Every structure is written in C-alpha cells, then in structure tokens.
Chains A and B, each alone.
Chain A
Amino acid sequence: MSDEKALSGEKVMNNKIDSYKRRFLAQSAVITGAAALGGGLVLTRVVQARPASQAVSSKNRWGLLIDTRKCANDCDACVQACEMEHGWGRGSSDEQRSSPAQKAQWIRKVTLRDRTTGHETSLPMMCQHCAHPPCVDVCPTGASMKRDDGIVLVDKHRCIGCRYCMMACPYKARSFIHEDLHGQKTASPRGKGTVESCNLCVHRVDQGKIPACAEACPEKAILFGDLKDADSEIARRLASEPSTEIRGDLRLDLGVRYQNI
C-alpha cells in the first residue's frame, strides 16, 4: 500500500513536471514568437532602408528641416560635406577653367540682412525638392524628374543641356557644367554640357543613411526625415513648431523647410 502510495505520488509529481514543462515550452514559444514578430515589427519601423529590388514609394516623402538659429555665419560644414560627397568644388580638382560664376554649386550659404534692423541670418540653400517642381515641368526630355519619394534629380544621360530648368528654378539651385570633368564619384555622375543640382544624397538615402550635409552639421541644424511619417522627428517638429517655405507664395510645396528666418 505504502509502495502504491509512493508510486502514485511519484506519478503525480511526474505529471506536474510534465505540465511545468508544457507550460514552460508554451510560454517560451509565445514569448519567442512575440519577440520575433514584435521585434520584426519594431525593426521595420526603425530601419528606413529599402531593398534595392523594391521600387521607391510615394508612402515616403523625404525632406529637410533647417533651423537657421543654429546655423553659424562662418560655418560651411554642410557645403564642404556636399563637395566631398559629390565631387564638386573643394571635393574635385575639376572646373579649373570655369569662372567663379560658371562653377557648379549644389549647396551654398546665403546671408540675409534685414534692411531696417541689420539683423543677419545665415542658412544653407539647395534644391528645395518641390512637390510641384517647375524644373520638371519645363524639361523637354524628362531628364529633370521627381521620384515617388519626393526627391528631385537630373538624369544626366537624358539631359540635353538646354538650361530651361535653370531659368525656371526659383531657388537658383541648379548648375550647368561648362567644361570636361574627370574622376567623378561613382554615386554622382556629372558631365560637361549637362545640368545638375542637390539630389538629397539619393544614393545615401537609398542605403538608409542621411544626406551628407545633415550628417556633417556640427550643430545638428539640418534634420532629415520622412515628412509623411507622422512619428518621425521631422514630421513631429513640423507639426508642433513654426516653419517657413522659401517663396511659399509660389505654392510649390517644398520638401525643405526653414525655421527662424
């Protein structure tokens, strides 16, 4: 009897261990599953990179928010970073024969002075990546184009160098190449007789990186992000803080916004 009792006690114990095991396994599975699934969800929110096989989507609209209060008058780190990234200006030994008025400038520092008070503001100026870009409208060949994610750029292989886009751009964002170039950067093809401008570092954006200018700014005055993602920092700040479009009267719906002008 006592043996029987002992045996049945052992059985109960074994059953309990089994149920613990089962519960443990089930719980682990749920936790692992949740971690895997949830983690995946979290990851897809964080990682903005898009596989090269996937087409650009209009679900994104890339843009910049530039806080001019943080932009020092004598700093041109953003300009220099752009020059190095795309191989123009100080980032290239080309364009030696072009006059200063003929040399390309993808981004430049502009100083504004209030005529009455004398107050000065400094800001970087580049392609504003309009939602309704006049350069794209006027381009006869379609070389000037806007990607679905809002990036405006030039297909250098289709550009015939008519310069109508330069006439149409309200921001003077474009440059014409006046002479032969050598040693261009792989990611930034450029060429004599064609027009070029800031392309929001499209090659970096496609790799999930931020544009060179935004990365280089020591004061973090240039914020890059997805204007259509309500949770992105740029969208949250644009929703809660005042910002300005340059020549907003033209209703071009710019991808680049400024603060404190």
Chain B
Amino acid sequence: MKPSTFREISGNSGGYWALLVFLGLLIAVGLGAAWYMEHNGHWVTGMNNQIVWGMPHVFAVFLIVAASGALNVATMASIFGRTAFKPLSRLSGLLAIALLAGGLLVLVLDLGRPDRLIMAMMNLNFMSIFAWNIILYNGFFVIVAVYLWTLMERRGNRFTRGAGLFAFLWRLILTLGTGSIFGFLVARQAYDAAIMAPLFIALSFSFGLAIFMLVLFASYRWSGRPLGDDMIHRLQRLLGLFVVTALLFVAIYHLTNLYAAEHRDVEQFILDGNNVYSGLFWVGYILLGSLVPMAIAWFSPFRAAIGWVTTAAVLVVGGGMAMIYVIIIGGQAYPLQLFPGKAVSSSFFDGVISPYSPTLAETLLGIGGVGIALAIVVVGIRLFKFLPLSLEDARVDAHDKAE
C-alpha cells in the first residue's frame, strides 16, 4: 500500500462557503438561544425542579459520548493494526476534538451561572465525578492534539503508537466518567447501576462511528475525492458490529433491572408505558436506530451502497439521540421512591410522572453545539492536511481484512 497523500480541501467553491454560512447561522442561533435562556432565567425552558436536565443535556451528552467514539477509527489503525483505516486517523482525531468542543459548549451554556465556570475550574471538589470530567475533557483536547501532531508531523511519527494508545485509554476513562455521572446516582431508580459506564462506552462506539462516516462521506462527495467501495464496506460492517455491541449492553441493563423487583416499576415505565419514552426506545432506538442499520450493515444487497450506508449512519445517530433522551429525561420523569410501597402526594410533584416538553430555545442551543462541531471540521480540513486525496480501493490495504 502506498502511503496516502494528504491535502487541504480547496474550499473555494460556492458550496463550501454556503456550508460555512449555514453552520455559522446554526451557531449564531444557538448562542442567541443561550443568551435568551441566561438573560431570562430557566423559566423560559421546559426544565423545572423535577426535570432538571433537559434537551441541552441530551445534545451535550450525545456529542461528548460520540466524541470519544469518533476517535475509534484512529485507534483501530494506530493500536489494533487495521492499516486500512490509517488514512482516516487524522479526520478521526479532528472530529473527536470538534464533537467534544460542541458538546461541552452546550453543557456550559446551559449552566445557571456559566459566568462562574472559571471558579469551577479553580475550586474542584475531587469527590465529584463532574470535577473529574472537567479534567478528563480538558485532557482529551490536549492528548488528541498531541496525537494529531504525531500523525501529521514527520518528526512525531515514531510516537504515533504510544500517543494513540494513551489517547485510547484516556477516551475509555472519559466515557466511563460520563456514564458514571448517571451510574453513581444512587437515589434514582433508572440510574444507580455500574453498567451505565460500560454501556456509555458501547454506545460511544456506534454514535462516534456513525457521525464519522457521515462526515467522511459528505466531505469526499462534496470535495470530489474518490472513495472506494472497499472502504465503505469496511466502515459499514464495523458500524453493524458496534451497533450490536451497544444493543447487547442495553439488553443486559434492562434485563437485570427487570429481574430486580425494586426496579420493575421504572422498567415498566420505560419499556411498556404509554408514553414518549417507550416509543422513543422501541421505535427510535431499537427498530430504527439498531435493527434497520444492522440489516443494512450485513445484508448483501446493501453492500457498499453508499446511499443505504448513509441512511444506516443517519439512523444510528437519530436512534442514539432517542436513547440518550430516554436515559436522561425518562430517568428523571420517573418519580423518586421516597416511601417504597406507599402512594405519595405533595405540592412538589412527589409520586407523579413529571412531564417535560423541550422549548425551541433548548433545542436550538443543542443544534448550535452540532453547528460548532461541524464548523470546526469544515474549517479544519480546509486549513490543514486532514483528508487523503484518495480513498480508492487500490489505496486501501487489501491484506488488512475487514473485520
């Protein structure tokens, strides 16, 4: 296999600038939404004292989880010897940084007092998983940046494997940390499970790869660079593998909860309730977000069919958002069990399912985060040599079998 030649995209076309303007609009609208929420206070959102984390957290957690997953393609090449993916490593690192930046921005702009963030960074309480995450997220930027340097700078090439391994371990811990935000919430029936941490890692693999594929396909199509069927097929099958892995963890999580009598009610609420969460879980995540993409990944008529593979990736992203919505909002909507076995009522909505409808501002803030992430990629690939000129089949290592 010849070494790939990396080039910036020309970025002079009207389409490129139209894309940038579009992303700029998304960012501007997102920032405007954040200003509107902060200026008025959170009474203008659908969040309240029952559903304290709303739509912005769905976007933020999804983007952060996907960020760590987006790095997997690079990991496959640098550590696990999948040389076919080596040309994709740079984009993988860039996308990881971009998604994390987008997710964190949404998270920070939804704080009650984002102006005090610097104080949070200077007074960390190390008992808090949030505080650990502040370190993990900041560290991720630095480590992936160093890893990218080893990939893109000849002098750094010999450190690529070491940096890649370190970045891989860091990303695993980072996603464990994100999952543990929920896993350690002992009082909430839907959380309080050690499996939340590995579940988030499993989800990150599929979310990250799906977004990576969409970005890759779009950038090759729009920049007119060749993308061979073999590469598409490799990514397609890998996506299927990641989706089924995540599905397995989701199944174990729900089965163990169903077996424990104390969690049966919340499981019934999520899985068998006449509510939006059951719909999002079964139709959004299981059917559209998992089973359909798996079918596309493995059934031969869809082999390397870029339209179908793109559809599969879009479905994984949509299903992933649905799953995170069910975890975050559904988990809070179910009431705390203060007095197990008793019927409880109060002026503070004890014992009742809490309704939540996200307002436009919350959703726009989340979309603004997506805009930031994509804008970083779009600008990055124009300024630096992230993308190989060609990913034609002849350039992909034939000796490195897919799967």
Contact = CB atoms under 8 A, between A and B. Distances in A.
B251 interface: no
A104 interface: yes
A175 B354 CA distance: 15
Contacts of A177: 41, 112
Interface centre among B40, B113, B124 (most CB of A within 10 A): B113
B305 to A, nearest CB: 43
Nearest to B341: A115
A24 interface: no
Interface residues of B, number: 50
Interface stretch (B42-50, B69-77, B96-104): B42-50
B348 A172 contact: yes
A77 interface: no
B113 A159 contact: yes
B187 A110 contact: no
Given A134-B187, A141-B125, A167-B53, A194 B112 contact: yes
A193 B111 contact: yes
Interface residues of A, number: 54
A98 B43 contact: yes
Given A192-B41, A193-B41, A102 B49 contact: yes
A142 B354 contact: no
B274 interface: no
Interface stretch (B84-92, B226-234, B286-294, B331-339): B331-339
Given A102-B47, A136-B127, A142-B123, 19 more contacts: A97-B41, A101-B48, A108-B347, A110-B345, A125-B346, A140-B134, A141-B119, A141-B123, A142-B124, A159-B113, A160-B119, A168-B186, A175-B49, A177-B41, A178-B41, A178-B43, A178-B48, A179-B43, A193-B38
Interface of A: 97-99, 101-105, 108-115, 125, 134, 136-142, 158-164, 166-172, 174-180, 192-195, 246-247, 250, 261
30 contacts: A101-B48, A101-B349, A108-B347, A110-B345, A112-B339, A113-B344, A138-B184, A139-B130, A140-B128, A140-B134, A159-B116, A160-B113, A160-B117, A161-B111, A162-B112, A166-B52, A167-B53, A168-B186, A172-B50, A172-B338, A174-B49, A177-B112, A180-B41, A193-B41, A193-B42, A193-B112, A246-B338, A247-B338, A250-B187, A261-B339
